[in-house]
């Protein structure tokens, strides 16, 4: 539970602390725009990253509720949900032990959004005061749409992909994005 608590402290309590520090002045001015970086892991399960996914689901719940609560005071809330982004994030990801990181940088950056592109799309979402934006390449983006509109299919396909990710992890592939190169259409054909 120590890693779960640390993840909640970092991703939920840390984010809420900043929000609660600046929100009163926005409400008093009756103007503001809260932008929160969440993750597609807050929209759908992230196999081998359950604590991370849990924390991002909590972030999604809080900010979706906040958006409704402050709508009448001209305070906008934008949730940004990036998928895998080219960064040192996977190398710095928490491991199963407190104080340790995964420590390996994912080598398959082709499956990830370039950092500059992600930043540009965040700026576009902010400028247009979007309520939520998903920033990712396929197949993660496809799964985000499936999760939103046909969740039963996501559970079915996700279970098949989960097994591939778990096997890669057990085989020593510590890339937290292992298994993302799987083609969901091949899985559908195999399962049918």
The catalytic residue positions are: 52
Which residues lie closer than 8 Å to 143 by C-beta, 6 or more apart? 40, 44, 154, 157, 158, 184
Rounded (10°) angle between helices 50-70 and 14-29: 10
Using CA atoms, how far apart are residues 128 and 35, in angstroms rounded to an integer? 12
74: left (phi over 0), alpha (psi -120 to 50) or beta: left
């Amino acid at each position: 539970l120590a890693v779960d608590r640390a993840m909640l402290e970092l991703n939920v309590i840390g984010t809420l602390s900043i929000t609660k520090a600046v929100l009163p002045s926005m409400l008093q001015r009756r103007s503001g725009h809260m932008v929160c970086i969440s993750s597609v892991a807050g929209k759908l399960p992230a196999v081998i990253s359950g604590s991370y996914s849990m924390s991002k689901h909590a972030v999604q719940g809080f900010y979706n509720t906040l958006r409704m609560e402050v709508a009448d005071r001209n305070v906008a809330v934008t949730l940004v949900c990036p998928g895998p982004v080219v960064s040192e994030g996977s190398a710095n990801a928490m491991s199963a032990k407190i104080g340790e990181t995964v420590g390996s940088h994912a080598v398959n950056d082709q499956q990830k959004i370039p950092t500059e592109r992600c930043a540009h799309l965040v700026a576009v979402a902010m400028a247009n005061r979007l309520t939520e934006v998903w920033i990712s390449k396929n197949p993660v983006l496809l799964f985000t749409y499936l999760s939103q509109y046909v969740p039963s299919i996501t559970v079915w396909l996700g279970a098949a992909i989960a097994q591939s990710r778990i096997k890669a992890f057990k085989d020593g592939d510590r890339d937290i994005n292992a298994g993302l190169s799987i083609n969901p259409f091949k899985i559908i054909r195999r399962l049918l």
